[in-house]
Structure 1
Amino acid sequence: MTAPDQANSAESPWPVRTLSFKIADWIHRLGQVWVEGQLTQINARRGTRTAFLTLRDPAADISMSVTCDPGLLQRSPVPLTEGTRVVVYGRPSFYAGRGTLSLRITDIRPVGIGELLARIERVKGLLAAEGLFDARRKRPLPFLPHTIGLISGRASAAQRDVLAVAAARWDAVKFDVRDSPVQGPTAVPSIIEQLAALDADPHVQVIIIARGGGSVEDLLPFSDETLLRAVAACRTPVVSAIGHEPDSPLLDLVADLRAATPTDAAKQVVPDVAAELDGIAELRRRSAHALRNWVHREQHVLDGLRARPVLANPLRMVDDRLDRVDGAVRDIRRSVRHLVTVEEHRTQRLASQLSTLGPAQTLARGYAVVQRTDGDDRHAVRSVDDLPVGAAVRIRVADGSATAAITPTTEENDQ
């Protein structure tokens, strides 16, 4: 056998036995460990000294062979069956001859309901702190989805209920049905795989995860942290349709919509076409009735406006005011005539006064107007001082005028 400290290279490779022994040595150094998982196979034949079990991780497709004393299973306070959640204590061993890994346990403890619920509460607090339950993250469902993804147990009552109710509400609805275990150790990885496939399909507009009722242990996969994070990461709206007991799984809080039962999920996702058509017909009737009422009201208003005198006989307003216009014209004419008559009398009176006081009447009484006509300054003579000897004057009388020259007076001649 090759020495353990022999150098390893392409020129000096290890034999298979050396690698197996080294792996076995490393695993044996791990010592005793506590491991949690679900029992998927129990083979404890009577008369044998070793019982063979398979322990599976509830959130991943990983399992490990476990061996123990059959009496260890018989002394368990709770019957151990496939799907039971347990915590075991043992030492991992690597069998070099077969190259297999197993776990030899000396203690096995079923995980009680109280502890399971406490773990669920811890996961609930963690996800709540991260905001995965926040209502603002919830996406609205499409009103009329053309394709619905359904994850449920094969030929389960939940699957039949969803399909039957949906077909009764809308016979043209399409489903992409994915069968998956909904309890037990393989449920979580299978549901996650189907969920990822539906979320990647661009035709699927909403996903329903459906299961009938069950005990707390049966519903544990729907409170698994890995599954909850996968649902929260989906781009497609997810509906939780778990017909469960009062202890609801955490999937109800992470999903975009919680339905009380698979039947309720079908009702909330698929619209009732008959009810929608009846609603549309009712809305049409109400709209038509409202429109007719509006037309009648407006027609009544128009009839009232047309019945008013001003619109029934538009020229009546002119006819009614024609007499007033004629009267106003007569009044204006009478006022104008009166004003003309008054002004005529006033003019005649002024003319009489003017003729009486005017120079013509004065001249008619024997007076004359003497004007200097020589020189540049021609003016009426008001004094004898304005009549020097030799001055040329014009003498105007009532019936005409004559020119004359100023000669010396008799007194001046006598002197």
Structure 2
Amino acid sequence: MSTAQTGGRTNSAENPWPVRTVSQKISGWIDKLGTVWVEGQLTQINARPGTRTAFLTLRDPSVDMSLQLTCDPQLLRASEVPLAEGASVVVFGKITFWPGRGSLALRITEIRPVGIGELLARLERLRKLLAAEGLFDQRLKRPLPFLPQRIGLITGRASAAERDVLSVAERRWPAVQFDVRNTPVQGPTAVPQILDALAALDKDPDVDVIILARGGGSPEDLLPFSDEALCRAIVACTTPVVSAIGHEPDSPLSDYVADLRAATPTDAAKRVVPDAVAEQDLVDDLRSRAAGALRNWVRREEHVIAQLRDRPVLADPIAALDRRADEIERLRVAARRDISRTVASEATTVDHLRARLSTLGPAATLARGYAVVQRIVADGDPEVVRSVDDAPPGTQLRVRVGDGAVRAVVMGREN
């Protein structure tokens, strides 16, 4: 029978330790291990929204062994490269024992991608730098010509990308011309030769657009097209540049600075060179639609004219004038009748007023034998004599009677 001595107490079948004692002892031993760097491959990532702890599984790709990891979810979100299952990483943390569950986990406080992850992190830093300088701004993008007469093509010698671009472009528009510059598309000599070819094509005034084309490959193979010097040279070009590197999931930095990103070299040829058959069909369709629209417009106008022609005022315009002439004649007769009646009434009124005026006027009074005596005043109008005092002897008088006036001189005065 085995025994153990701890703190003066012998551990045996008769004196067993409780689970909490064992858990506390294990936790204390593990806590003495300190921090450690560990390399492995992520096989499981569980970071639920709203939780304060993310759980990961780190596997040794050489043997069938794994280790449980825990961390703050912010650590995953702050990673320069999005972490996914299968990524190789190096983590830094401390082994932790959870007494409640009796399980071990490595609580990490730092995580770094290695291999391809490190490469992607470096590219991500460069992408953020170029974006901060505004090289990805959509306002810098130059529009592509509708029908380029000459296209510059930078691609590998006898590559599938070259064959795809040329065959698709010539099939869509046989008259298009290419200036092909064959350069390495991977390796240390690729960037300098691509830069020389890009500068030469940009200086050629006959080149309307430049295509950078390469087939798919690993991130390491596509690395030249994320070179900072190449990206800045693309931005500095005065000729529109199309980036057709790799396949749809591939996104080298040249895709961000180019004036147009094509998913594949074939897609680049389709987006740069218009389809002659499709354009002809479009022209035919537009011509047919224009002719149809014109015919419909003519028919509508003819219908409007027919409706106008069927209106009575246009069918028999003289009838309307005749009706108006009769109405005008009736109105003219009524107006003449009303005017004559008004004139006769006013003439009768004038005669009555004239008779009353004659009756009340001084002429009628004079005709009955009365006279109006006026005193003649030098340099003035005659004044009516109302009293004998107004006409002393010798005064010249004007005596008006019914049929005229006579002059007299006052000879004397009678009271």
The answer, yes or no, to whether TM exceeds 0.5 is yes
The alignment's C-alpha RMSD in Å is 4.3
SS at match of 1:315: helix
Q: TM-score, normalised on structure 1?
A: 0.57
Q: Deviations over 1:177-208 (max 9, x none)?
A: 11111122222221111111111111111111
Amino acid at match of 1:181: P
Verify the 8 A CA contact 2:374 2:385 in the aligned structure 1.
no
Deviates more, 1:267-276 or 1:339-348: 339-348
1:271 is the counterpart of 2:267: no
Partner of 2:249: 246
1:163 is the counterpart of 2:166: yes
What is the distance in 2 between the residues matched to 1:363 and 1:323?
A: 58
Q: Give the superposition deviation at 1:355.
A: 8.9
Q: Give the superposition deviation at 1:120.
A: 2.3
- The percentage of aligned residue pairs carrying the same residue is 65
Amino acid at match of 1:192: L
Partner of 1:294: 297
1:213 is the counterpart of 2:203: no
Q: Deviations over 1:208-229 (max 9, x none)?
A: 1111112222222222222222
**Superposition pairs for residues 112-131 of structure 1, below 5 Å?**
112-131=115-134
Partner of 1:7: none
SS at match of 2:154: strand
Q: Give the superposition deviation at 1:385.
A: 12
Assess, with a 3 A threshold, how the Cα gap between structure 1 residues 370 and 155 changes in structure 2: closer, same or farther.
closer
What is the distance in 2 between the residues matched to 1:372 and 1:183?
A: 144
Assess, with a 3 A threshold, how the Cα gap between structure 1 residues 340 and 177 changes in structure 2: closer, same or farther.
closer
Amino acid at match of 2:125: R
In structure 2, stretches of 5+ residues that fail to align are 1-113, 404-415
Q: Give the superposition deviation at 1:379.
A: 11
What is the distance in 2 between the residues matched to 1:361 and 1:132?
A: 118
What is the distance in 1 between the residues matched to 2:356 and 2:151?
A: 120
Partner of 1:311: 314
Q: Give the superposition deviation at 1:165.
A: 0.3
Counterpart pick for 1:192 among 178, 192, 195: 195
What is the distance in 1 between the residues matched to 2:373 and 2:119?
A: 151
Assess, with a 3 A threshold, how the Cα gap between structure 1 residues 309 and 217 changes in structure 2: closer, same or farther.
same
What is the distance in 1 between the residues matched to 2:327 and 2:241?
A: 85
Partner of 2:264: 261
The number of equivalent residue pairs is 296
Verify the 8 A CA contact 2:147 2:274 in the aligned structure 1.
yes
Deviates more, 1:276-285 or 1:338-347: 338-347
Assess, with a 3 A threshold, how the Cα gap between structure 1 residues 382 and 300 changes in structure 2: closer, same or farther.
same
Q: Give the superposition deviation at 1:297.
A: 2.6
Assess, with a 3 A threshold, how the Cα gap between structure 1 residues 133 and 373 changes in structure 2: closer, same or farther.
closer
What is the distance in 2 between the residues matched to 1:368 and 1:217?
A: 148
Verify the 8 A CA contact 1:371 1:379 in the aligned structure 2.
no
Q: Deviations over 1:65-115 (max 9, x none)?
A: xxxxxxxxxxxxxxxxxxxxxxxxxxxxxxxxxxxxxxxxxxxxxx94333
Amino acid at match of 1:334: R
What is the distance in 2 between the residues matched to 1:288 and 1:210?
A: 43
Partner of 2:328: 325
Verify the 8 A CA contact 1:169 1:273 in the aligned structure 2.
yes
Q: Deviations over 1:385-408 (max 9, x none)?
A: 99x9xxxx9999999xxxxxxxxx
What is the distance in 2 between the residues matched to 1:148 and 1:373?
A: 125
1:172 is the counterpart of 2:175: yes
Verify the 8 A CA contact 2:248 2:263 in the aligned structure 1.
no
What is the distance in 2 between the residues matched to 1:166 and 1:291?
A: 36
What is the distance in 1 between the residues matched to 2:120 and 2:356?
A: 134
Q: TM-score, normalised on structure 2?
A: 0.57
What is the distance in 2 between the residues matched to 1:219 and 1:209?
A: 12
Verify the 8 A CA contact 1:153 1:159 in the aligned structure 2.
yes
In structure 1, stretches of 5+ residues that fail to align are 1-110, 400-415
- Flag the structure with larger Rg: 1
Assess, with a 3 A threshold, how the Cα gap between structure 1 residues 235 and 342 changes in structure 2: closer, same or farther.
closer
Q: Deviations over 1:249-303 (max 9, x none)?
A: 2221222111111110000000112111211221222222223323333333333
Partner of 2:144: 141
Assess, with a 3 A threshold, how the Cα gap between structure 1 residues 304 and 117 changes in structure 2: closer, same or farther.
same
What is the distance in 2 between the residues matched to 1:307 and 1:178?
A: 74
Verify the 8 A CA contact 1:149 1:178 in the aligned structure 2.
yes
Verify the 8 A CA contact 2:375 2:384 in the aligned structure 1.
no
SS at match of 1:178: strand
Assess, with a 3 A threshold, how the Cα gap between structure 1 residues 324 and 160 changes in structure 2: closer, same or farther.
same
